[in-house]
Amino acid sequence: MIFLCREDIEKIFKMEDALNAVEEAYIAHAHGEIVMPPKMDLHLDKGLLRYMPAYVRSIDAVGAKIVNIHPQNPRESSLPTVMALIVINNPATGEPIAVMDGTYITAMRTGAAGGISAKYLSRKDASVVGMVGAGVQARGQLMALIQVRDISEVKVYDMYRDASERFAREVGETLNLRITTVESAREAVVGSDIVVTTTTSRKPVVMNEWVDLGTHICAVGADTPGKRELDLSLLKRGKIVVDDVSQSTTIGELNVPHRDGLIELEEIYGEIGEIIVGRKEGRETEDEITIFDTSGLAAQDIISAHHILNDAKREKIGLVLTT
């Protein structure tokens, strides 16, 4: 069995790799090549632990991720909101063959999901990004966006000003981007071609009237029942694309309006995988408002980990554990 720490994975898993792995997951999902039970949550006083198994037939890869969601961590303990561990098994025997840090993989593949949505749903000339939320997930989103669009301007808002200032300073320098902090979510959204939300909010943070025609919105933050980031009238106005319909309506951005009978399944245009494989059109007009709801697929983690494991073996990276 091989153990891979974060430093090992960072050497061999870049954003380009994450984009490829996520697109591969969406394609496999569209072709029915994934066995992926619903996520199982263990609720705790200040957060939850989540179990995410998946089997990907197309590459014969199976495993599971255990991930936490503790929104108060950054303020109370200087830990990330999300941390994870991934186990990969031998499909034929069930033997664990690899254990690896999943925190970095989660951030990268979540960012890549937003990037893939922009590749297929945003305008080709999209150049201005508005970000609501300035945590770890926001960094991954921007890393992916610059791979698929020529981004020239970024505006960022976070309810904690020091977080947005740190994001602008550190990420702007790392990615060589001009990032401006703004005083409100409205300022971040108005005039942006792509809007990314990465908050833990349980009420809308982006209003319909702020959003210009032709905008693409990537809603990332809603990942448990009760969370939401987008105004209902905005959802009604836009073309809604999701990573998985069942998941989106139970834990994703659509969970609250669907539960309350305000969004019907028929109002969801489709899944991103259907667009990638050509079953449905992506952006159809320049003025169309597109909304991508991503709550993350376990298959994204397993496909990413599978390729990381193969690369680690080839590069002789990692610690071999004896049992």
Active site residues: 65
Beta strands 153-157 and 128-132: pairing type? parallel
Give CA–CA dist 222/198, Å, rounded. 8
Nearest to 294 by CA among 214, 204, 197, 203: 197
Using the structure block, give the residue that is written with the tokens 């003025």.
Answer: 287
Q: Are 88 and 62 in contact (CB under 8 A)?
A: yes
Count of beta carbons in the 10 Å neighbourhood of residue 212: 13
Locate all alpha helices (DSSP H) within 133-244, ordered by sequence. 136-148, 161-175, 185-189, 232-237
Residues 6 or more apart whose CB falls under 8 angstroms from that of 231 comprise 204, 206, 207, 208
The pair of three-digit structure tokens given for residue 120, joined into one six-digit string = 């297929």
Q: How many CA atoms lie within 13 A of 203 on its CB side?
A: 0
Nearest to 306 by CA among 77, 3, 59, 49: 59
